[in-house]
Amino acid sequence: MTTMAAPQTLDALLDSIRARTARVGVIGLGYVGLPLVLLFEDAGFPVLGFDVDTKKTDMLNRGETYIRHIGRERIAKAFANERVFATADFDRLAECDAILICVPTPLGTHREPDLKYIRITAEQIALRLRPGQLIVLESTTYPGTTREELLPRFEARGLVCGRDFFLGFSPEREDPGNERFNTKNIPKVVGGIDAPSMSAAAELYGAIIDHIVPVSSPEVAESAKLLENIFRAVNIALVNEMKVVFERMGIDVWEVIDAAKTKPFGFMPFYPGPGLGGHCIPLDPFYLTWKAAETGTWARFIELAGEINTAMPRYVVDRTVEAVNQHGKSIVGATVLVMGLSYKPDIDDDRESPSFELIEMLQERGAAMSYCDPFVPVARRGRKHDLGLESIACTADAIGKYDAVVVSTPHTQFKDPALWSQVRLAVDTRNIVPRGVAGLDVVRA
């Protein structure tokens, strides 16, 4: 990498961004951080990727990928470039002119925000903070985090925000696997602590993203991200509740949604499922409920949505037990296959997937469980689950051997009618099992 004198003022930083000489550091090379590295590389910036996981940094430097939808060629091309390097050496943060924080923000065991990764990262940056640096937090979190957790740690170094360094929040809106929208063409909300911070952050993101949405503060940007995810969580809970109500009334909720969505205004379709999955929707809303309690306010919609959505796996299990019974079998000793371990179709991300709960709950009822997921050949051990299972082959012969097959993830491959030719009982939570296959009983759940 070429070394240039680091910009020390706002004007020098803006000039270096325009000239593509500003070195960009991305901390946390996961689903959010890695695409950012690639975009900045593509735009001609020197980029340093930081991660505590040296397996990841080593793989990247060898040109290998660990995220299925980001192909090997794309990584190999970017990391073959001497402008780009991945490292676990945080002393190199001092070389960066702009630092983007993309570390995890999980929940603790009592659904409280766990900010330890943000705090550790803030300490790492503070140790190397120098004049002229821009720092932007991208991790999803409650309003106030940037101002309360990052700003004081940086100012404790004797540097002044807006004059010596620049600080803001800009939430990520990744949708892995979405072919229409990617990091570049999804509008990016940006909020700076002050006007100089705002202009530095807008200049940086403007270099790689088509449309920047400036807002008046980091708190607005932090809240906008939470509102987006809460909107989804609440609407998914609503259709999940409608599913249960309509089911009792003998009405097909999927047909109802298809009819309702023909209204050209004022309605947006959401679809029921076996429960919430993924890194965002099941977790993020509780960042707000926790913070809201500080001001004596209660976010009741969030709590209610959480209650309904977390009850869904149990509902699916109950429907499966009933269906197996109606086929003249007891769930004890029945062989049950769960189709799909990832939390959404055609990707390999299994974080917070409800499939884990379905498998464990059916195991508790006495069923012999297996799963089939071409994207997740081995069920990795996670924080909460350790299934110790490997995927069975995704063939008609293999899936036809089970007493019941429960569809949890709507992978495209699962929609092939030929796959279902030997199955007798399907419990379909995603409305994808083909109808009219001879000898196949499809139960909705």
Q: Which residues are catalytic?
A: 280
* Smaller CB separation from ligand NAD, 119 or 130: 119
Q: What minimum distance in Å lies between the beta carbon of 34 and ligand NAD?
A: 8
Q: Where are the beta strands (DSSP E) in 14-132?
A: 24-27, 47-50, 84-87, 98-101
What is d(CA 367, CA 336) in angstroms, rounded to the nearest whole number? 6
Nearer to ligand NAD, 62 or 261 (CB): 62
* Dist. CA 441–CA 445, nearest whole Å: 13
Handedness of CA 177, 181, 185, 186 (dihedral sign): negative
What does DSSP assign to residue 161?
Answer: B
Identify the sign of the CA torsion 89, 95, 101, 102. Answer: negative
Which residue lies nearer to ligand NAD by CB, 107 or 368? 107
Return the sign of the alpha-carbon dihedral for residues 163, 167, 168, 174: positive
Least distance from C-beta 229 to ligand NAD, angstroms?
8
Shortest Å distance, C-beta 104 to ligand NAD: 5
Closest to 199 in 3D by CA, of 153, 239, 168, 223: 168
Whole-angstrom distance, CA of residue 79 vs CA of residue 204: 21
Give dist(CA 229, CA 89) in Å, integer: 34
Q: 38 φ, ψ to 5°?
A: -65, -40
Report the alpha-carbon distance of residue 408 to residue 339 in Å, rounded. 6
**Pick 229 or 320: Cβ nearer ligand NAD:** 229
> Minimum CB separation from ligand NAD for residue 259, in Å?
31
Tokens 């959404």, located at residue: 344
Of the candidates 378, 344, 288, 241, the residue with the CA atom closest to the CA atom of residue 31: 344
**135 has which bridge partners?**
99, 167
- From the CB of 246, what's the least distance to ligand NAD, in Å? 31
The residue sitting closest to ligand NAD, measured at its beta carbon, is: 30
CB of 99 vs ligand NAD, minimal distance in Å: 11
Residues in touch with ligand NAD (CB under 6 A): 27-33, 50-53, 56, 102-105, 117, 120-121, 139-140, 172, 174, 176, 279-280
- Strands (E) across 102-222 are located at 134-137, 166-169, 188-192, 212-215
Please report how close the Cβ of residue 113 comes to ligand NAD at its closest, in angstroms. Answer: 10
Q: Where are the alpha helices (DSSP H) in 249-283?
A: 253-260
Residue number with CB closer to ligand NAD (320 or 409)? 409
Nearer to ligand NAD, 121 or 320 (CB): 121
Residue 51 vs 350, nearer CB to ligand NAD? 51
DSSP 394: -
Least distance (Å) from ligand NAD to the CB of residue 106?
Answer: 8
Q: At what angle do helices 33-42 and 72-80 cross, to 10 degrees?
A: 50
**Which lies closer to ligand NAD via its Cβ, residue 7 or residue 285?**
285
For the chain, how big is the Rg over CA atoms in Å? 24
* Residue keyed to tokens 């029945």: 334
The secondary structure of 205-225 as a DSSP string is HHTT-S-EEEES-HHHHHHHH
